Chains A and B, each alone.
Chain A
Amino acid sequence: MITAERKPLEEIIEYIKPFKRILLLGCNECVTVCAAGGRKEVGLLASGLQLALLKSGSSIEIREHTLERQCDPEYVEELVPMIGSEEAILSMACGCGVQQLATRFKDKPVFPALNTKFMGGSLSQGMWDERCKGCGDCLLGLTGGICPIAKCAKQLMNGPCGGSTDGKCEISDDVECAWQLIWNRLKALGQEDRFLDIMPAKDWRSGGGGGPRKIIREDLAE
């Protein structure tokens, strides 16, 4: 899933300061699951903004709503009959949702309330880590199910660099060396010899190096 975190209040306030009425819009998908932009966070942000503005002597009318998914046009369409006097939309979705809104509501400013972080998964309650960079050419089958693109700071393709010490990456003791993990895993699987195959330089075109990407399923697309 896509993970995100709320932006600092100060930044959000800068966006919405000029307006009297805004729509604060949550999303019931990824950002709900990572506790960043679901109904609960919408309520809490609305209340926090209200407090911050009241404190500085102003006030604002905030209407709260949460869509099933902000990145699909049909769900966004649900807003059309309900949006009235709101002058701007503050979105608590990931960047995909924010852009979907901006595309649909051309005459209303749309602001992000979240910083979209990464594609990742849940480690345990309240903890998520990065797992995928979306390179478009998955290597996990060769690397024991551990991604050197997402998990190696240098995105090395053929084993660790000299900064790998005791299984940790030189950037921080909190970061595990991806290649150490890969090695451990291959060894456990009895596939150490895979390490001998040199991986060719990665073709980054599939990873966005060739410009914005698009998927078209011919059988579905109209």
Chain B
Amino acid sequence: MRHVEHVMGFPVSLRIDDEGDFTGAADAVFAWLREADVRFSPFKPDSEVSRYGRGALADGELSADLTEVLGLCADLRGATGGAFDARLPGRGFDPCAVVKGWSVQRAAGLLTAAGARRFCLNAGGDVFVSGGPWRVGIRHPEQADQVCAVLAVTDAAVATSGGYERGEHILDGRTGRPATGLLSLTVVAPTLTEADATATAAFALGADGPAWAAARTGCEVFAIDTARQVLRTRGLPVAQGLP
């Protein structure tokens, strides 16, 4: 079965190849993503994240989920020396870079719990696959209808950060300026929580990003710098065989 829906501001495509009726599980996936949007969007004034950001939530009022998100933000901020920061000066609290991967990974968990074993969930360009191998293309940064690499992935996540879709929206927390040095950076990791956060943070680090991401446990990297050179790890699961 296949289903596409716009949630959290981007299209989410789900394909389940298992035999059987997974309509209920698919409904649960999109219900959770809509819930995550309501609770964790910094663009909705009444969301948990917005209320937390303006100091309207006491410590005892934080949900377990928000506490988990805050922990992920703090880990990433420390690991990047401040290049990733959910609290940039002059901006409200914005944990989007962490929430996206985390919430989609949880959605994938709902499918697994429902018995799905072979599925592909693509949330606005961040992909989690169960079973495999699945052929996941990396979008060419300058040609929307072309890919610049094809990966063969099994039970893994692929996330890409880049400035070509939404402009210079990723800031380097160390300088407060838009990140420079890379056209896009893709991370393959066991979970989308790790892949998405690492890709975003590495993009914020700019030229230092590829080596930083490659040093993260379990992460394989494919980066394109502004000189249009590809930098990738040796362990990247590049698809072999038919183009």
Q: Say whether A associates with B.
A: no
Q: State the B residues within 8 Å of A (CB).
A: none
